[in-house]
């Protein structure tokens, strides 16, 4: 099974799909989701979930525009691939979670469920490197903020979000996500159908780049550490994949 590009999306299509996963990556990795998240997405495809990973550039403060463009691109790809009659699950990492929340709140697409991994909804001054330093040089920047703002995003979700079944994943060593805040928000709307899982890992555990490490002729302490890091990363990926597949399979029984 090979990645192919369809209507600007990167797609994996198993022979007999049982569902469709619309994936959106985090801010700095969203431009190439088929590379940055290859391990997890390819494992899901091998378990008969069609993958539509929509790339986007985080080059605007207007997240509504990103959500609109992503939603339109996905719909074109889904129709072209004749996947309209399969259940669709949204899955996002970090900023990709916010874009999925906006798509679901603004356009109310039919979703069998959504998966939010290491959700991030920070303001511009917390999300953009050197924002405060740049604001001192460019005063106009001090008043710039994402649209919608973090608070406005929460209000949109409270008022308009309709997808009942949601899986939220928090990693233990991730101190930059806001998954607990999202869990509280969604549980107010759907107290019995929101699942929160806490797993070993970091903010980047969901990224699936396979580290190629070739040990030297004499196996050194550095070689041993590198091998351990690779094993630990893949172990956490494997746990994540098991949790994702278990939840997905429950939704389509």
* DSSP line for 178-232: -HHHHHHHHHHH-TTSEEEEEESS-TTTT----------SS--HHHHHHHHHHHH
Cα 32 → chain centroid: 12
Mean pLDDT (the chain) is 85
Beta strand segments in the chain, E:
4-6, 9-12, 19-24, 49-53, 88-93, 113-117, 166-171, 194-199
What are the sequence ranges of the domains in the chain?
A: 4-251
pLDDT digits (tens, 9 = 90+) for 204-241: 888 755 444 444 555 555 444 444 444 444 445 678 99
Mean pLDDT of 99-125: 91
* pTM, full prediction: 0.85
Mean pLDDT of 11-35: 93
Domain 4-251 has CATH 3.40.50.1820: yes
How large a percentage of the chain has pLDDT more than 90? 64
> What is the model's pLDDT at position 121?
84
Which residue's structure tokens are 């590009």? 5
> What is the model's pLDDT at position 203?
85
pLDDT digits (tens, 9 = 90+) for 35-65: 999 999 999 999 999 999 999 987 777 999 9
Strand order in the sheet with 4-6: 4-6, 9-12, 49-53, 19-24, 88-93, 113-117, 166-171, 194-199
pLDDT digits (tens, 9 = 90+) for 190-201: 999 999 999 998
């Amino acid at each position: 099974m090979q990645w192919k590009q369809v209507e600007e999306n990167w797609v994996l299509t198993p022979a007999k799909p049982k569902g469709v996963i619309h994936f959106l990556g985090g801010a700095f990795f969203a431009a190439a989701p088929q590379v940055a998240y290859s391990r997890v997405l390819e494992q899901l495809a091998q378990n008969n979930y069609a993958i539509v990973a929509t790339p986007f550039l985080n080059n605007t403060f207007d997240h509504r525009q990103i959500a609109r463009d992503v939603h339109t691109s996905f719909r074109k790809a889904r129709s072209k691939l004749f996947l309209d009659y399969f259940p669709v699950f949204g899955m996002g990492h970090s900023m990709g979670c916010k874009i999925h929340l906006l798509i679901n709140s603004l356009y109310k697409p039919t979703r069998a469920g959504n998966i939010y991994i290491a959700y991030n909804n920070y303001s511009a001054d917390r999300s953009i490197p050197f924002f405060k330093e740049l604001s001192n040089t460019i005063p106009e920047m001090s008043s710039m903020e994402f649209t919608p703002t973090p608070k406005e995003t929460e209000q949109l979700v409270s008022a308009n979000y309709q997808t009942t079944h949601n899986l939220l994943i928090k990693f233990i060593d991730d101190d930059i996500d806001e998954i607990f805040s999202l869990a509280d928000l969604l549980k107010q709307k759907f107290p019995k159908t929101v699942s929160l899982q806490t797993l070993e890992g970091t903010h980047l555990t969901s990224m699936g780049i396979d580290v190629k490490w070739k040990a030297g002729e004499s196996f050194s302490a550095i070689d041993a550490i590198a091998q351990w890091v690779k094993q630990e990363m893949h172990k956490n990926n494997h746990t994540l994949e098991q949790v994702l597949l278990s939840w997905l399979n429950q939704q389509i029984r």
